[in-house]
């Protein structure tokens, strides 16, 4: 948490802060700290849940406007550090490996199951990142007979893992909005001559809708001769229901979707009156329906002092929200098993890794169910890999 000791009370700073940093209030500054709503943006475990470029633009503008050098210097230093992390793609934790292991397991199953079927197999990564991610590991100690030190390691991200699948997929599409990470993907693609790899710099949703409206995906449902797996690993609540509808319509793209359960829960205030228009619109967009208002909330039966109807309060806990979204997905896809829970460094169920199968073929669904049972034993509720790292 960013803190300062005995900061000066600077009137201009207080006046400018409210318009530049929603949630950053005078009381927080007087307590010498950045409030909890802002702290994660400054490098905490949930930093990855925001578009990094958007955060940097906000922070740079905010830091430049701060009149007091006492405040500006530590914030600029923090932003510089975050920008370095963005370039290196230093995000996530042990739970990131669990997510990637589960998807990789399915990719291997999928490629093996369809290798003799004559399909052109596609892998589409809509939020591909840089292809790799850096982590800090502590090594040494008494058991190893060496001094304890922290080393940086480079681990394969989803894109690199997909390229290593054997038998191989035939086509790869990597989508990344951030220019630096897009450039890293292009460098990675150049290391695989002879592979059909398309790297696209653009918005994931816009690019997917454009891709799915062109051959082969617009040539019937499902398109003859083409099948694939799509990975949606978004920044916060950035995948609208319309994108899922377009994917489902292909009947050819099995989808892994890291649903931002924690972010959604934060929009679903316990008191419905606290769900403002911005939050409601975001929830409508991700759920694809306004029905969450009645599915996840209930009205108190008791009347208030003036005889008016009681307020609405949220009746669904985190698991209830997850179950309701699961039911929504089942209206789009032929087979959606219970999700893999992703427990982050905070110890909370922050994400739900959903698998949604596009094919309506009974034999394909049966094979997928067998694969999902194996994955559930490894990563499902109660499995040790929920909280352990590689």
Measured in degrees and rounded to the nearest 5, phi and psi for residue 203 equal -70, 135
Q: Which two tokens stand for residue 90?
A: 């230093």
Q: Residue 39's pLDDT is what? A: 38
pLDDT at 36: 39
Distance separating alpha carbons of residues 383 and 170, to the nearest angstrom:
33
CA-atom Rg of the chain in angstroms: 23
Q: What is the pLDDT of residue 81?
A: 52
Query: What's the pLDDT at 90?
Result: 53
pTM of the model: 0.75
pLDDT of residue 34: 37
Q: Where are the domains of the chain?
A: 11-88, 94-268+316-386
Would you state the pLDDT for residue 92?
A: 61
Q: Give me the residues of the chain with pLDDT under 50, please.
A: 1-58, 60-72, 80, 82-89, 387-390
Q: What is the pLDDT of residue 51?
A: 39
Q: For position 304, what pLDDT does the model report? A: 55
pLDDT given at position 133 = 80
pLDDT at 262 (0 to 100)? 94
pLDDT at 180: 95
Tokens representing 88 are 């290196």
CATH T-level fold of 94-268+316-386: Rossmann fold (3.40.50)
Q: Are strands 349-356 and 253-259 parallel, antiparallel or unpaired?
A: antiparallel
| Res 46: pLDDT | 36
């Amino acid at each position: 948490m960013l803190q300062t000791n005995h900061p000066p009370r600077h009137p201009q700073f207080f006046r400018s802060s409210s318009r530049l940093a929603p949630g950053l209030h005078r009381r927080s500054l007087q307590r010498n700290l950045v409030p909890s709503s802002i702290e994660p943006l400054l490098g905490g475990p949930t930093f990855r849940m925001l578009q990094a470029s958007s955060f940097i633009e906000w922070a740079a503008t905010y830091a430049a406007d701060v009149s007091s050098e006492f405040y500006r210097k530590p914030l600029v230093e923090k932003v510089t550090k975050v920008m370095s992390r963005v370039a290196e793609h230093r995000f996530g934790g042990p739970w990131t490996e669990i997510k990637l292991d589960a998807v990789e397991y399915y990719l291997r199953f999928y490629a093996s199951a369809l290798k003799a079927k004559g399909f052109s197999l596609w892998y589409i990564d809509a939020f591909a990142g840089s292809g790799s991610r850096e982590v800090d590991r502590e090594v040494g100690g008494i058991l190893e007979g060496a001094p304890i030190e922290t080393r940086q390691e480079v681990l394969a991200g989803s894109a690199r893992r997909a390229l290593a699948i054997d038998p191989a997929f035939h086509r790869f599409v990597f989508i990344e909005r951030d220019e630096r990470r897009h450039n890293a993907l292009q460098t990675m693609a150049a290391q695989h001559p002879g592979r059909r790899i398309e790297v696209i710099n653009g918005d994931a949703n816009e690019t997917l809708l454009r891709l799915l409206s062109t051959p082969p995906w617009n040539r019937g449902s499902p398109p003859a001769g083409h099948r694939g797996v799509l990975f949606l690993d978004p920044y916060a609540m950035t995948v609208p229901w319309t994108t899922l509808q377009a994917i489902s319509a292909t009947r050819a793209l099995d989808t892994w979707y890291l649903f931002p359960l924690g972010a959604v829960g934060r929009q679903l205030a316990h008191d419905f009156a606290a769900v403002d228009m911005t939050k409601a619109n975001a929830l409508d967009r991700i759920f694809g329906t306004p029905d969450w208002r009645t599915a996840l909330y209930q009205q108190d039966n008791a009347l208030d002092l003036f005889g008016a109807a009681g307020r609405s309060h949220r009746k669904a806990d985190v698991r209830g929200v997850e179950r309701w979204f699961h039911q929504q997905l089942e209206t789009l896809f032929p087979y959606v098993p219970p999700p893999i829970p992703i427990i982050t460094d905070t110890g909370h169920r922050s994400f739900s890794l959903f698998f949604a199968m596009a094919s309506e073929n009974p034999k394909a669904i049966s094979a997928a169910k067998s694969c999902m049972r194996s994955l559930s034993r490894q990563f499902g509720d109660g499995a040790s890999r929920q909280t352990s790292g590689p």
